[in-house]
Amino acid sequence: MAAQPVSQLLRRFVRSCARGCSSVAPVTQPRPGEPSRPSTEELSTRLQFLREHAAPFSAFLTDSFGRQHSYLRISLTEKCNLRCQYCMPEEGVPLTPKADLLTTEEILTLTRLFVKEGVNKIRLTGGEPLIRPDVVNIVAQLHQLEGLRTIGVTTNGINLARLLPQLQKAGLNAINISLDTLVPAKFEFIVRRKGFHKVMEGIHKAIELGYNPVKVNCVVMRGLNEDELLDFVALTQGLPLDVRFIEYMPFDGNKWNFKKMVSYKEMLDAIQQQWPELEKVPEEESSTAKVFKIPGFQGQVSFITSMSEHFCGTCNRLRITADGNLKVCLFGNSEVSLRDHLRAGASEEKLLSIIGDAVGRKKREHAGLILVLQDSLPANPSISSWNLHCVLGLGSRVSFSTQMATLWRIPQTSLAQQWLGSGSPQRHYCSHIDTDPKCLRSGSRVPAAPSQPCSTSDQLTHVDSEGQAAMVDVGQKPDTDRVAVASAVVFLGPVAFKLVQQNQLKKGDALVVAQLAGIQAAKLTSQLIPLCHHVALNHIQVQLELDSTRHAVVIRTSCLARGPTGVEMEALTSAAVAALTLYDMCKAISRDIVVGEIKLISKTGGQRGDFHRA
């Protein structure tokens, strides 16, 4: 019987400590009439008291493996104002009817129950939680719950700068901001929306208001952003950020591919080559992150190793979806509807029993999925990274490094653009994607091969003896260096051409988007052309040049690989898709656009000899 007063006292102590000295919340002065904040010695005494007199943790939130679930994530909405490529299709996803979503009062009823049982940390998620109209009120209501030490939010940052002052006043004391690239054009490509500068503004607002650290979540995907690891790490030198690199994980609909995943050890090795003094920082037992810090840097770097080194053994997290389902594991399909029981009038005891049963069924790891990954994952040579050192733009534009220095308010780093002559009327884009570090140099080019006569076959190679379509068996062919160059021309007309030249299209930078499309298309050729072999590309180059005499964009692509089959289809597909992307970017301006002159320029390597178009 005496446990209840002690429990209440403990919660008051926890609340007093948490509200006053959270490492992720800005320090504020006490209001008039309030007692002053406890000293460090007093806090130490209180924490010692908590350890010695802590009440037993709730049996309802303890699973069969002894894991105590003190962390609750709540989805406030299924909606999102972005359309991230790895998250959802461009048209969005079917949404649950509003009547089936949790109301604000239902959210608060459930959270009161969980906090009463020992949950001391709540994170608000989505969709995008900051598009919910009453998010500030929800935070304020949660702030009133005794025993709740941390109220956090995971956001894409689009609305953060506008709402954060209100959220901080309401009681928000932890922020995670999702940001997968530092390149504005690539940001727009990934999320299919504008807003890069709004996210930057939100991060700076969080720093300005005293949040320390501000956590930045970056999902690392091979072929998309793994080349930016060092640039993200460099941000922690002058800013109080915790940059958290997250291994690419499989979710419904994101077409997860093992080859896209960059492992923790691969990322760590790349960073240590640049900063060998990188040192490990101790973390809490239930932490999902492996934390590192470079001596002298303000911020730190973390790794969320969900795939290569899962942290299931210390998992203390539960999740409630926007429609009221309880998930005990992010990877699990098993859910129980707390909403239905709540609306049916279930008592608190009944709800606790349902929650306890679900927690008790939680599996040891990843919903029973055992992931066996090698200690060192080889990089997939067919999918590599942007080389920003080879991106060329108009002299009238501000350089990328200057933009980033302004956005982040730090000295310029190695991210730099090379400029054409200041008076050049042309815009040129050249993208190199290569696994050979030598190809990161701006002067590198695909090696030229000597011209030889091209022998052709007098039979269709993709037709078998019965006249049926068939893939050619290349198993016995030797590996040789293969290079192919292809081109295409998009005739835009004077109006669309001028808008592209001046980068005034409402959809964004047509040249950058087309360049990205060409890169992606080269890597996906075997999925688009039915009888085409998959080729591990070592190098992709996509160049776009404006031809003012014809009001056209000339596209030239080259692909290089070492293998038993050629790469002309990869080069042609790259040129064609880049051209179609330009058409799509400009079709609202004119329907008279013509895509033409798609052709193979040259190919080298292979038994049939080389080919060079006259």
| Residues labelled as active-site residues | 584
Between strands 71-75 and 121-125, the pairing is parallel
CA distances for 183 relative to 58, 189, 232, 241, 577, angstroms: 46, 10, 11, 18, 22
| CA 249 – CA 262 distance, rounded (Å) | 10
| Helix/strand/coil (H/E/C) assignment for every residue in 522-575 | HHCHHHHCCCCCCCCEEEEEEEEEEECCCCEEEEEEEEEEEECCCCHHHHHHHH
The distance from CA 486 to its chain's CA centroid, rounded to whole angstroms, is: 32
- Laid out side by side, the sheet with 537-547 consists of 428-434, 537-547, 552-563, 480-491, 594-604, 611-612
Give the dihedral of Cα atoms 241, 246, 251, 256; nearest 10 deg.
130
What single string gives the DSSP state of each residue in 345-410? T--HHHHHHHHHHHHHT--SSGGG------SSPPP-TTS----GGG-EE-TTSPPHHHHHHHHHTS
| DSSP conformational letter for 199 | H
H or E element, residue 590: none
- Laid out side by side, the sheet with 317-320 consists of 279-281, 289-293, 300-304, 241-247, 214-220, 174-178, 150-155, 121-125, 71-75, 317-320, 325-327, 336-337
Beta strands in 156-213 (DSSP E): 174-178
C-alpha closest to that of 132 among 161, 101, 111: 101
| CA 178 – CA 377 distance, rounded (Å) | 25
C-alpha closest to that of 381 among 228, 269, 538: 538
C-alpha closest to that of 122 among 101, 105, 103, 143: 143
| CA 146 – CA 97 distance, rounded (Å) | 33
C-alpha closest to that of 392 among 412, 421, 413: 421
H or E element, residue 307: none
| Backbone angles phi and psi of 53, in degrees to 5 | -120, 15
User: Which SS3 state, helix, strand or coil, does residue 286 take?
Assistant: coil
